[in-house]
Chains A and B, each alone.
Chain A
Amino acid sequence: MKKYAGFFLALIFVAAVAAGFFVYPKGFGAKASPWRLGLDLTGGSHLVYQVDLSGVNNADRDSVLNGMRDVIERRVNLYGVSEPQVYIAKSGGQTGKAEVVVEIAGEKDISKAIKQIGDTPFLDFREVEGEGTSTIFIKTNLTGRYITGAQLTFDQTTGAPQVSISFNDEGAKIFEDLTAKNVGKPVAIFLDNELIESPVVQQKISGGKAQITGRFTIDTAKLLVERFNAGALPAPITLINQETTSPTLGENSFTKTLLAGIIGTILVMLFMLFYYRGFGVYAVVALLIYIALTLAIFKLVPITLTLAGLAGFILTIGMAVDANILIFERIKEELKKGLSRQAAIYEGFKNAWLSIRDSNTSTIITAVILYYFTTSFVRGFAFTLLIGVAVSMFSAITTTRMLLTVFAKDSKPQKSNP
């Protein structure tokens, strides 16, 4: 056992030192893979858009959402915002309310980017039933998702400006069916959920081109063409959640949290050394190894460290020594019973294990529930807590045990060598 313990301990040390270099914010580690910090620490905007998929067939929802993501990404990129992150946070399921999240780092042009997204047009065609006040509009499948491009044209007889849009093959087919079904009847065109016009269909239209006449001036028509060409939304969206942090505030949060973390760690270490003396040294070494390994795992996964995540990690530092405390207290008890040091260490670990297992399991239960019932911000916290608990169990049990096995000698036979 002792021989292997030495070997494993050396292995853990090497891993911890490597992890330390890896996570250190300067030098080798930073070059290999820089830390990913959340927008609440670096500054930036986190925008949540709700996508109304109620008008989209179940089978098409995934492709609509992916299209949505691409359109928004293109839009935001237009403004040269550095590396916007656009991802689907909720696929909608039965309710048809999906969510797309846009994350923009930095401060410049965020409001422009938001405006860009807000300007993305949503066009849809609706069937018309009834007349006058009893008119109802029935949504169809034909929306902006099938638009490939738009052009400014002029009506051949009146000379009025028009927006001419082209559909892709799929859209052309739907348009053809829609017009065929409604010959002699009006079909309504809605832009951003407002009725633009409802021309009467003269005949089936093939070829996938539609003219929107509306009441445009040349300028408004031009603007609409530009908006369509930059991408049309495949479904209507609303901004439901916005979280913007300036880089100054983010940096302030970051340095303060980091400082608090360092102070907290030092306090915990001093407490362990003061209260447990010799044993405390092992706890301090195990805690340092814990910190290096956990941070390395954060970086390898990789997770984006938010303010909540950082706070969660700092809390685990206060918890990581818990297992050590339980073990040391138990060893002290066993020593009082008159056991030799080695035997007391063995018994101490054995008898403290159940408490350690049960308390860590409670924290794991909490973290998992937190993870599943919350949104992205809190998730960071739940995730760091979960990784922290797992690694702290390893560090307290394996690392401390190896340390004690290798370094804590039976005092009686070696009195001459304290």
Chain B
Amino acid sequence: MINVIGQRKIYLTISGVLVGAAIVAIFVFGFKQGIDFTGGALWQFKIQDVSDRTAMDNFFKNDLKVGDSRVNYDAGTQSFLVRIPAISEADHQKFLSSLKVKWPTATELGYSSIGPTVGAELKKNSLIALGLVLVGISLYIAFAFRKVFRPISSWKYGWVTLFTLVHDVSIPAGLLAVLGYLGKVEIDGNFIVALLVVMGFSVHDTIVVFDRIRENLFLDRDRSPFGEIVNRSVNQTMGRSINTSLTLILVLLALYFAGPANLHFFVLTLLVGVTTGIYSSIFVASPILFVWQNLGSKKPSTG
């Protein structure tokens, strides 16, 4: 049996450091925003036997006179991915023919362009959706646990859920901020979707533990100290907490390694988030519930 409650300081410190680092990363580096948010165009094309990033960079900067262009080469599809500011469809066609003049084997694989107003709206909607999911799930937990046995108010379950949700999204978000800073990734609409899904999924394990605490509180009727009940509940459900997330992680690993490149960072965000979710449901949610409960109770109980 792992003494989750007894060792809570260690577990919570690990969490605190990770979340702190993630939040610092987000504030210091910010997010590299993709065209979904800023507007602009993303152009993907393939040229036979050409993979020289510098040559392509020069072509865009000097021949096409697009100063603010960024060229990447994707080895998986053997194609260039170029990010340019929003251009008109006429310019797009002009650029495409210039490209074909210079490299006759060039073929367009994909082109997406998004107006700046669309990006602003997406940003607004993303923030609203994030807020709503946070509040929605927390309120639901508070509601679902309303008939819970003393000594905990069901609101505390809701608040702790809210805290673990923030915990679980901040770590993958921090990672993507770092990756963005290193120039590896630009966040897009899919990133927001991934964060929302992390919240929806990572709460599953937390629910399982809370459900067991609720049940044990009811069966125990004040005989054992609260900390002991929490600790017992965490240990009883640990196996299934890990297993339910593990099945999802198996699928995500398959998608990460065998899936298409354009899902890469979406899947990575989910992987990190779901893994964080396992940790938080065992080592964060219940200890916080315990600490909070102890703050207000007259006779302190230890686990």
List A residues at the B interface (Cβ < 8 Å): 48, 50, 111, 114-115, 118, 238-246, 248-249, 252-253, 256-257, 259-261, 263-265, 267-268, 271-272, 275, 307-308, 311, 314-315, 317-319, 321-322, 325-326, 329, 333, 351, 354-355, 357-359, 361-363, 365-367, 369-370, 373-375, 377-378, 381, 385
Neighbouring A residues of B250 by C-beta, 8 Å: 264, 267-268, 271, 318
**Set B132, B211, B270: member contacting A354, Cβ < 8 A:** B211
**Set A257, A268, A351, A357: member contacting B247, Cβ < 8 A:** A268
Encode contact with A along B128-158: 1 for CB under 8 Å, 0 otherwise: 1100110011001100100000000000000
Most A CB within 10 A of own CB, among B77, B114, B208: B208
Q: Which of B10-18, B174-182, B253-261 contacts A (4 or more CB under 8 A)?
A: B253-261
CB distance from A212 to the nearest CB of B (A): 25
Neighbouring A residues of B114 by C-beta, 8 Å: 240-242
Instruction: Bin the interface of chain B by size.
Output: 35 or more
**Set A244, A259, A355, A370: member contacting B108, Cβ < 8 A:** A244
Assuming the contacts A366-B196, A373-B132, asked whether A317 and B251 have C-beta atoms less than 8 A apart, the reply is yes
**Set A264, A308, A321, A373: member contacting B128, Cβ < 8 A:** A373
Can you list the 4 inter-chain pairs with the closest CB atoms, starting with the nearest? A366-B200, A318-B251, A264-B254, A240-B115
Q: Are B211 and A355 in contact (CB under 8 A)?
A: yes
B302 within 8 A of A: no
Q: Which residue of chain B is the closest to A256 with respect to CB atoms? A: B260
Q: Are A245 and B200 in contact (CB under 8 A)?
A: no
Encode contact with A along B189-218: 1 for CB under 8 Å, 0 otherwise: 110010011011101100110010001000
Neighbouring A residues of B258 by C-beta, 8 Å: 256, 259-260, 263
CB distance from A376 to the nearest CB of B (A): 11
Assuming the contacts A249-B77, A362-B137, asked whether A257 and B263 have C-beta atoms less than 8 A apart, the reply is yes
What are 9 A-B pairs with beta-carbon distances under 8 A?
A245-B109, A249-B109, A263-B254, A271-B246, A326-B244, A359-B207, A365-B136, A373-B129, A381-B193
B297 within 8 A of A: no
Neighbouring B residues of A333 by C-beta, 8 Å: 236
B48 within 8 A of A: no
Q: Are B113 and A242 in contact (CB under 8 A)?
A: yes
Q: Which residue of chain A is the closest to B248 with respect to CB atoms? A: A318
Encode contact with A along B93-132: 1 for CB under 8 Å, 0 otherwise: 1000000000000011111111101100010011011001
B183 within 8 A of A: no
Encode contact with A along B78-96: 1 for CB under 8 Å, 0 otherwise: 0100000000011001000
Assuming the contacts A242-B113, A358-B141, A359-B207, asked whether A369 and B255 have C-beta atoms less than 8 A apart, the reply is no
Q: Are A358 and B144 in contact (CB under 8 A)?
A: yes
- A361 vs B111: C-alpha distance in the bound complex, in angstroms? 38
Encode contact with A along B250-281: 1 for CB under 8 Å, 0 otherwise: 11111101111011001100100000000000
Q: Which residue of chain A is the closest to B88 with respect to CB atoms? A: A239
Q: Are B137 and A366 in contact (CB under 8 A)?
A: yes
Q: Are B200 and A377 in contact (CB under 8 A)?
A: no
Provide the main secondary structure of the chain B interface.
helix
Q: Are B255 and A374 in contact (CB under 8 A)?
A: no
- Please name 14 further chain A to chain B contacts, defined as beta carbons within 8 Å, in addition to the given A242-B113, A308-B190, sorted by A numbering: A50-B115, A241-B115, A242-B111, A243-B110, A246-B109, A248-B109, A263-B258, A275-B243, A318-B249, A318-B250, A322-B244, A359-B204, A365-B140, A369-B132
B44 within 8 A of A: yes
Neighbouring A residues of B140 by C-beta, 8 Å: 358, 361-362, 365
- A351 vs B137: C-alpha distance in the bound complex, in angstroms? 22
- A227 vs B79: C-alpha distance in the bound complex, in angstroms? 38
**Set A252, A267, A365: member contacting B254, Cβ < 8 A:** A267
Neighbouring B residues of A261 by C-beta, 8 Å: 254-255
Neighbouring B residues of A365 by C-beta, 8 Å: 133, 136-137, 140, 200
B239 within 8 A of A: yes
CB distance from B191 to the nearest CB of A (A): 11
B240 within 8 A of A: yes
Q: Which residue of chain B is the closest to A254 with respect to CB atoms? A: B260
Q: Are A358 and B211 in contact (CB under 8 A)?
A: yes
Residues 21-78 of B at the A interface (beta carbon under 8 Å):
44, 77
Assuming the contacts A115-B89, A260-B255, A362-B137, asked whether A329 and B240 have C-beta atoms less than 8 A apart, the reply is yes
Q: Are A315 and B248 in contact (CB under 8 A)?
A: yes
Neighbouring A residues of B239 by C-beta, 8 Å: 329
- A253 vs B77: C-alpha distance in the bound complex, in angstroms? 10
Q: Are B112 and A243 in contact (CB under 8 A)?
A: yes
Neighbouring B residues of A50 by C-beta, 8 Å: 115, 117
Neighbouring B residues of A317 by C-beta, 8 Å: 251
